[in-house]
Amino acid sequence: MKAYSKSFPRIIRDRVRQKMRSLRDRSVRIVPAPSKASKKPLWRFSEDGRVAFFRNRRRPLPEPDFRSVADALNHALEHPGTIRFPFGINGAESAGVHAVPADAMPSGSVWFLGDVHGDYPALLASCAWILNRDPDAVLCFCGDIIDRGPDSLNCVLYVLDMLLRRRPGKVLCLRGNHEDALKFDNEEGCFRSGVKPAGFADLLNGHAEYAAFGRDLLRFFRLLPSAVFLPDGLLFTHAGVPMGDLLPKLASVQDMNQSKVLLDFCWVRIEPDKEYKKVSRVSRGVSAGRVNIDEFFLKCEELGIRANRIVAGHEHPENGFARFEGLSEQDGPRYPRCQCLKSAMILHGSAIAESGADDAQPFAVARYRENETPEVRSLYFKPSVFNTLY
């Protein structure tokens, strides 16, 4: 080696030695260390709620593993007592209406998320925005995870993965009208939905490998709560409240678990610009005004449940949320018994405009505040990010 070294310039000798060391250490370096790019967070948020996506073609949006989530769901359905919801709600007795005691409130923050409707990027961005601020936060979805958007399957898998495996006891999902409308037709051997658009039913019917998972999912949807009363009087539900024709049938808290009452929690539409709406049972989509909500809250007070505020989804406000107050003092003489409702908030969790426009619309999350209206935050994708993701 000495003769070889003397006959070559130093720079060539150093390169040969470097190459030999590289060949000698190749077995160690087969798996490279993570690059700096892979350590970058998937999302970046500005102070005004704008979502900037770190575009990396080698790193698309992460997708849950279908088989592992499906197996976890099947195991949880065989042992429903192992399903852990927040607020002390046990999976074996989770369906229906729940009044949360004060000692069951979580220590971390509580966040509400509106209808996701198959919008996977908005779902990931919403959860990331919240968990970046409080990793111990409780996420409360108001239902309607499926349909309308392009990726209902990944939305369902992501929520199930958090609820059953990654964040047990930190995720609550209510039963929305789209979950309620999904059925399995035994005679035809296919999934059907009572709402349109019903893209998730079509997806399940079009892939044989999803059939067993779809039937398990229907069983899981039947376990989801329809409404949750928090101890300070906030009602969290998917849609609205039971209408006046059902109130005389409510003699106890347990009566709220009647099937017709639960359907109203899933289907009644809140119209904040209306004071009172007459009850019409022509369709399941009955509308409720502020007085209708107040009458139900008054009935809750009679049953020993505190109720004065409501957070719901079901509607799709253009700004991602809508907020309105209860009856004013000027309305008092006309509705002397209706002074329970203080405020109401409607949230929407999808960036896809209902009109089908190419532009993104804001989507919102809201943080629970005791005895106050929840603090809402609008998020939105800048145009270049929206075009990349959708």
What is the chain's mean pLDDT, rounded?
Answer: 86
Pairing label, strands 43-45, 363-367: unpaired
In a domain, 33, yes or no: no
DSSP code for 14? H
In a domain, 121, yes or no: yes
* Cross-strand partners of 192: 183
The pLDDT tens digits of the residues spanning 52-61 come to 765 555 567 8
* CA-closest candidate to residue 86, choices 114, 63, 107, 58: 107
CA distance to 42, 56, 380, per residue, from 59 (Å): 9, 5, 22
In a domain, 96, yes or no: yes
* CA-closest candidate to residue 43, choices 58, 28, 61, 25: 61
The pLDDT tens digits of the residues spanning 81-116 come to 999 999 999 998 999 999 999 999 999 999 999 999
Q: Where does the pLDDT of residue 28 fall: very low under 50, low under 70, confident under 90, or very high at 90 and above? A: very low
In a domain, 128, yes or no: yes
In a domain, 199, yes or no: yes
Residues 267, 268, 273, 279: what is their CA dihedral angle, to the nearest 10 degrees?
140
* Cross-strand partners of 185: 190
Is residue 240 within 8 A of residue 264, CB to CB? The reply is yes
* Cross-strand partners of 362: none
Is residue 224 within 8 A of residue 180, CB to CB? The reply is no
- Sequence length of the chain is 390
Q: Where does the pLDDT of residue 26 fall: very low under 50, low under 70, confident under 90, or very high at 90 and above? A: very low
Long-range contacts of range 299-304, CB-CB < 8 Å, 24 or more positions apart?
A: 299/247, 299/250, 300/229, 300/340, 301/340, 303/250, 303/252, 303/253, 304/253
- Torsion 212-216-217-219 (CA) sign: positive
- Taking the C-alpha atoms of residue 191 and residue 189, their distance in angstroms, rounded to an integer, is 7
* CA-closest candidate to residue 307, choices 245, 366, 250, 267: 250
33 pLDDT higher than 50: no
Q: What share of the chain is helix, strand, coil (3-state, %, to 5)?
A: 35, 20, 45
What does the pLDDT read at residue 338?
A: 60
Number of domains in the chain: 1
Write the DSSP assignment of 212-235 as a string of letters.
HHHHHHHHHHTTSEEEEE-TTSEE
* CA-closest candidate to residue 349, choices 118, 178, 110, 114: 114
What does the pLDDT read at residue 27?
A: 39
Pairing label, strands 190-193, 182-185: antiparallel
More confident: 157 or 6: 157
In a domain, 37, yes or no: no
- Taking the C-alpha atoms of residue 218 and residue 239, their distance in angstroms, rounded to an integer, is 20
What does the pLDDT read at residue 318?
A: 83
Tokens representing 47 are: 């102070």
Q: Where does the pLDDT of residue 32 fall: very low under 50, low under 70, confident under 90, or very high at 90 and above? A: very low
Range of the domain at 186: 55-389
In a domain, 6, yes or no: no
The pLDDT tens digits of the residues spanning 243-292 come to 999 999 999 989 999 999 999 999 999 987 788 888 888 877 789 988 89
CATH number at residue 235: 3.60.21.10
* CA-closest candidate to residue 80, choices 222, 182, 195: 222
Could you tell me if residue 188 is left (phi over 0), alpha (psi between -120 and 50 degrees) or otherwise beta? Answer: alpha
pTM of the model: 0.86
How far, in whole angstroms, is CA 286 from its chain's centroid? 23
**Mean pLDDT across 19-46:** 54
Q: Where does the pLDDT of residue 29 fall: very low under 50, low under 70, confident under 90, or very high at 90 and above? A: very low
What does the pLDDT read at residue 337?
A: 59
What does the pLDDT read at residue 35?
A: 41
In a domain, 42, yes or no: no
- Taking the C-alpha atoms of residue 336 and residue 341, their distance in angstroms, rounded to an integer, is 13
